[in-house]
Structure formats: C-alpha cells, structure tokens
Homo-oligomer: A and B are copies of this chain.
Amino acid sequence: MRLADDTLSATFFALADPTRRAILVRLSRGQATVKELSAPFEMSGPAVSKHLRVLERAGLIQRGREAQWRPRTLDASPIREVAEWAGEFKKFWDASYDRLDNYLDLLKKEGKKNARRS
C-alpha cells in the first residue's frame, strides 16, 4: 500500500500533534487567517505553516481563495472516518460495563434465592 493512497493514516498522522488538534478546534469556531491561527502558540510562523500544510494534505483544512488573507476553514469529513474506524471497537470499551451488569444481575439472583430460603 502506498502511503499516498492511505488517507486514514494521513488523517491519524495529522491528528498526532497537540498543536494541530488545537488548530482544528480553533477552526471549528469559524475560519481564521494564518496570523490568527498562530497567535495562541509560542511558535515561529514557518513552524505553524508546516503544521497547516500537514492538515491541508490530510484534507482537514481548506484554504480560501476569495481574499488576500486566504482564511483557512475546517473540513471535518476525514474526522468522520476516524470516528467510524474507532466506533468499530465500541463493544470492547463497553465490555467492562457489561461485566459489571452481569455481576449485579448475579447478586440480584443470589439475593432472591437467599430470600426464598429464609
């Protein structure tokens, strides 16, 4: 498999950085220029631009064409793929609750049995 074909890996890689995730959260509140996106980070312009390129390649942000400032907007559709992939494992993180449920059922049955005996 060529890495370029593997959009899910590109998305996961892009999300594997707290600055890039913070940029996406900021863009979820509305479009922003590179200057606005850089403001919260103690980071050089080129460092922020590099993060933006990673996000852009993964299809997570789009670059406006209408203005000189080229504001960035969020494209959440790759995040949907991530949610769907992760959702396939839901039954495994629910499993611990199921075990607790079974245990409580067992306690209830035992309680009834003891009540009949006494």
Nearest Cβ on chain B to A107's Cβ, whole angstroms: 25
Nearest Cβ on chain B to A46's Cβ, whole angstroms: 20
**Chain A at the B interface: SS class:** helix
Q: Does A112 contact B (CB under 8 A)?
A: no
Bound together, the chains give a CA A6 to CA B15 distance in angstroms of: 12
A17 surroundings in chain B (CB, below 8 A): 9, 12
Selected from B12, B21, B74, B83, the residue in CB contact (under 8 A) with A13 is B12
* Chain copies in the assembled complex: 2
Residue of B nearest to A74 (CB): B92
Residue of B nearest to A86 (CB): B83
Interface string of A1-19 (1 = CB under 8 A from B): 1000010111011011110
Selected from B9, B82, B90, the residue in CB contact (under 8 A) with A86 is B82
* Contact in complex: A87, B83 (CB < 8 Å): yes
A85 surroundings in chain B (CB, below 8 A): 15, 21
Residue of B nearest to A82 (CB): B86
